[in-house]
C-alpha cells in the first residue's frame, strides 16, 4: 500500500466517496466533528473575507457562493452559512442583493438530506437561492465566470497525481470565477518538503494493519501491495509552484495551523462522544484509547468505500479493529504519546483581472 503523488490506475483509487448516510454509526455525517473543528479555526478569516469581497465589488446586486465538497450531515451548510451571514451583515438599508448558493459534491452525495436541513439552518429566511451541482471538482462544474466566493474545507483528501490534480482544480475554478473572486481552501498539508514519520503515520499504520491481515491470511498480500491510496499532503513550496504555473490566481494567504482531537476532548470544539470528556486531561491513561477510537472512526468514514472495493466487505471490521489498536499503541508510545496533531493549510487565492 502506498500514499503518494504517483498515479494509480487500479479501481480502488477511483472510489473516492465517503461513507454515506446509510452506513449509520460509520457514516461520514456521524464522524465529522473533527472537520467541523478545523473549519472553526478559519471561520473568522473566512467571514471577514466574504464581507470584504462584497464591499470591494461595490456591494453588487447579486453574489454567488459555492462550496466544493459540501458533503452531508451537520457540516454540509456550514461554510456557505458563514459566508452568507457575513455578507448580510454588510448590507446597507434596502440595498438589493440576491445571494446564490451552489453546493457541490460527487453525484453519490445525499443532496436530498442536505436540502432537508435548510428549514432549520442559518440560511432559512435569508432569501438565498440554493442549488446542488454534482460532479468532481477536478473538472468543470459551474458556468463560465459565474462565481464570486468559492470555499472548500477538508475536502481535498484524494489527489492521485498532486501536481496534475491541483493544477486542474485551479484551472477549472479560474474559468468559473469572476475577476477579483476568491478561492478559499483548507486541507491537510505538511510543513517541510521532506515528509516526517508523523506526517505519514495515519497511512503507515493503516498499511501495517493491512499487512497484519495478510499475514493472518484474511486478505491477499498482493492486493495490499497493489493498493495505492490517492493521497498527498503538500508543503507550501508545492502549492506556490502550482499556483504560479496555473497563473490565474494571486496568492493572498497561505497559513499553516495544527489541529488535534484533544481540543474536542478538552472542550475546545464540538462535543465529543467521550462520556466523561470534561474530566479528562492529556496525561490520563484513557486518552490514547479515546484518540485511537475517534481517529479510526474518522478515517474509516473517509476511506472505507475505496478499501472495501479493493479488499471486500468481509475484511473491513477486522481491518479497522487492528487499525484502532495500532493507533492506540502509537498514542501510548513514549516518543509519540498523545501526538495526534495534523497540519492544515489555509489558502486564499484571488482571481486576477485580465489586462488588455
Q: pLDDT tens per residue, the chain (356 residues)?
A: 555 433 333 333 344 454 444 444 545 556 568 889 999 999 999 999 999 999 999 999 999 999 999 998 889 999 999 999 999 999 987 778 999 999 999 998 999 999 999 999 999 999 999 999 999 999 999 999 999 999 999 998 777 789 999 999 999 999 999 999 999 999 999 999 999 999 999 999 999 999 999 999 999 999 999 888 778 899 999 999 999 999 999 999 999 999 998 877 665 444 444 444 444 444 568 999 999 999 999 899 888 888 988 898 889 999 999 999 999 999 999 999 999 999 999 999 999 987 54
Nearest Cα neighbor of 103 from 133, 79, 83 is 133
The domain locations on the chain are 1-31+196-230+271-340, 32-194+233-260+342-356
Hey, how many other C-beta atoms are within 10 angstroms of the C-beta on 187?
Answer: 21
Distance CA 256, CA 249 (A): 19
Within the chain, residue ranges assigned H as helices are: 33-56, 78-88, 111-117, 162-176, 201-215, 221-226, 236-246, 262-265, 287-311, 316-332
Q: What is the DSSP letter of 334?
A: T
Q: Which residue has the cell 457575513?
A: 86
User: Cα 95 from chain centroid?
Assistant: 35
147 in Cβ contact with 176 (< 8 Å): yes
Which CATH architecture does the domain made up of 32-194+233-260+342-356 adopt? 3-Layer(aba) Sandwich (3.40)
First-to-last C-alpha distance (Å) of the chain: 50
Which CATH architecture does the domain made up of 1-31+196-230+271-340 adopt? Orthogonal Bundle (1.10)
Distance CA 68, CA 79 (A): 10
Amino acid at each position: 500500500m502506498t500514499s503518494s503523488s504517483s498515479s494509480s490506475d487500479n479501481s480502488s483509487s477511483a472510489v473516492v466517496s465517503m461513507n454515506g448516510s446509510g452506513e449509520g454509526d460509520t457514516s461520514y455525517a456521524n464522524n465529522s466533528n473533527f472537520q467541523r473543528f478545523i473549519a472553526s479555526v478559519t471561520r473568522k478569516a473566512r467571514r471577514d473575507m466574504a464581507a470584504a469581497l462584497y464591499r470591494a465589488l461595490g456591494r453588487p446586486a447579486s453574489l454567488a457562493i459555492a462550496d466544493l465538497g459540501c458533503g452531508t450531515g451537520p457540516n454540509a451548510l456550514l461554510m456557505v452559512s458563514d459566508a452568507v451571514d457575513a455578507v448580510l451583515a454588510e448590507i446597507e438599508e434596502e440595498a438589493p442583493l440576491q445571494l446564490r448558493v451552489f453546493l457541490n459534491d460527487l453525484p453519490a452525495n445525499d443532496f436530498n438530506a442536505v436540502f432537508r436541513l435548510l428549514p432549520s439552518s442559518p440560511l432559512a429566511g435569508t432569501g438565498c437561492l440554493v442549488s446542488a451541482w454534482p460532479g468532481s471538482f477536478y473538472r468543470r462544474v459551474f458556468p463560465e465566470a459565474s462565481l464570486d466566493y468559492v470555499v472548500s474545507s477538508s475536502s481535498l483528501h484524494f489527489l492521485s497525481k498532486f501536481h496534475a490534480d491541483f493544477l486542474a482544480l485551479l484551472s477549472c475554478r479560474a474559468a468559473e470565477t469572476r475577476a477579483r473572486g476568491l478561492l478559499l481552501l483548507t486541507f491537510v498539508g505538511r510543513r517541510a518538503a521532506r515528509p516526517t514519520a508523523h506526517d505519514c503515520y495515519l497511512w503507515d499504520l493503516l498499511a501495517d494493519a493491512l499487512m497484519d491481515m495478510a499475514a493472518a491470511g484474511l486478505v491477499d498480500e498482493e492486493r495490499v501491495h497493489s493498493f495505492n491510496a490517492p493521497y498527498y499532503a503538500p508543503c507550501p513550496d508545492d502549492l506556490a509552484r502550482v499556483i504560479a504555473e496555473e497563473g490565474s490566481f494571486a496568492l493572498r494567504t497561505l497559513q499553516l495551523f495544527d489541529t488535534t482531537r484533544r481540543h474536542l476532548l478538552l472542550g475546545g470544539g464540538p462535543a465529543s462522544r467521550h462520556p466523561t470528556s470534561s474530566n479528562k486531561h492529556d496525561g490520563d491513561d484513557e486518552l490514547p484509547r479515546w484518540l485511537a477510537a475517534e481517529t479510526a472512526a474518522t478515517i474509516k468514514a473517509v476511506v472505507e468505500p475505496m478499501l472495501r472495493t479493493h479488499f471486500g466487505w468481509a475484511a473491513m471490521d477486522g481491518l479497522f479493529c487492528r487499525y484502532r489498536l495500532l493507533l492506540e499503541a502509537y498514542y501510548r508510545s513514549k516518543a509519540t504519546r498523545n501526538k495526534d496533531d495534523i497540519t492544515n493549510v489555509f489558502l486564499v487565492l484571488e482571481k486576477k483581472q485580465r489586462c488588455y
